[in-house]
Amino acid sequence: MWALPLTATAISALFSGIVFRQYLERRNPAHLSWAVALFLFAVGTACDFLAIVSGWTPLIAKTYYLCGATVVVGYLALGTLYLLAPKRLAQAWLILMLTATVFAVILLAGAEVDPVKLRSDAEPGWKAIDKPAALSVIVMAINSIGTVILVAGAVYSAVYRRYMLANILIASGTFVVAAGGSLMRLGHYEFQSGGQLAGITIMFIGVLLTMKPSEKRLPEPATPL
């Protein structure tokens, strides 16, 4: 069972590095946003791997919950906004995401963890966190609004033919990851890592489609002497 989260970690980290390198070359903030999101996936799946091989700890549980359930959809949505929406709207969402991330870290750091639930084999260890109401509100808001942004971006792309397949794949990958999490809650824990691996791969293919050479900005014409 540990092989899937380990593979997902390696692939997510690799994908994040490739997208970040693309950001360094082209300075497109959408690529930076997606690189961050893929890195968060890598951290989340790494926590899953560590929990399988050595057991859940409060730190692993909190880190997994922060990276895997709290902010990752928001940063995926940020990339969609930078790609398709006015820059001011993307920057406003960036400020909200950074603020929400800071508050989520603070709330998680102070949250209690039930040691009995943490050692239980019936449920994953992150469910042992006694989540404050404010944290639950942040998670619900980020995931709900982020999902709406991803879906709206896919629909907009389909209508106006701007990065159509790319945004459809990014949104679809998000839902594949979510589906794996839903199956895990029904007792099929092995589907979570499989869903993460498949979803991350689908998202990465979508991101790659925004890097096509034909869509690179043309160089400025030389100034006549």
Tell me the pLDDT tens digit for each residue of 196-224: 788 888 988 998 888 765 443 333 334 34
More confident residue, 116 or 194: 116
**What is the DSSP track for 128-139?**
GEE--HHHHHHH
CA dist 109 and 63 (Å) reads 10
Tell me what pLDDT residue 91 has: 97
Tell me what pLDDT residue 4 has: 83
Helix or strand run (H / E) with residue 126: none
Beta bridge partners of 130: 112
Q: Which two tokens stand for residue 212?
A: 């096509």
Model confidence over 61-120: pLDDT tens digits? 999 999 988 999 999 999 999 999 999 999 999 999 999 999 999 999 999 999 998 988
Most confident of 42-46, 187-191, 197-201: 42-46
Tell me what pLDDT residue 188 has: 55
Residue 156 above 50 pLDDT?
A: yes
By CB atoms closer than 10 A (0-12, 13-18, 19+), residue 136 is exposed
Contacts of 216 (CB under 8 A, 6+ apart): 26
Burial 185-206 (b: 16+ CB within 10 A, else e): eeeebebbbbbbbbbbbbbbbb
Tell me what pLDDT residue 109 has: 95
Task: For the chain, give the longest Cα–Cα distance.
Answer: 76
By CB atoms closer than 10 A (0-12, 13-18, 19+), residue 169 is buried
5-19 average pLDDT score? 92
Cα-based distances in Å from 214 to 19, 27, 125, 147? 17, 17, 46, 29
By CB atoms closer than 10 A (0-12, 13-18, 19+), residue 225 is exposed
- Residue 113 has what DSSP assignment? E
**Mean pLDDT, the chain, integer:** 86
pTM: predicted TM-score of the whole model, two decimal places: 0.85
Tell me what pLDDT residue 187 has: 53
CA dist 157 and 7 (Å) reads 31
Helix or strand run (H / E) with residue 112: strand 112-113
Please report, as a single letter, which amino acid is at residue 114.
D
CB 66, CB 108: distance < 8 Å: yes
120-136 average pLDDT score? 88
More confident residue, 214 or 160: 160
CA angle 15, 158, 21 (to 5 degrees): 20
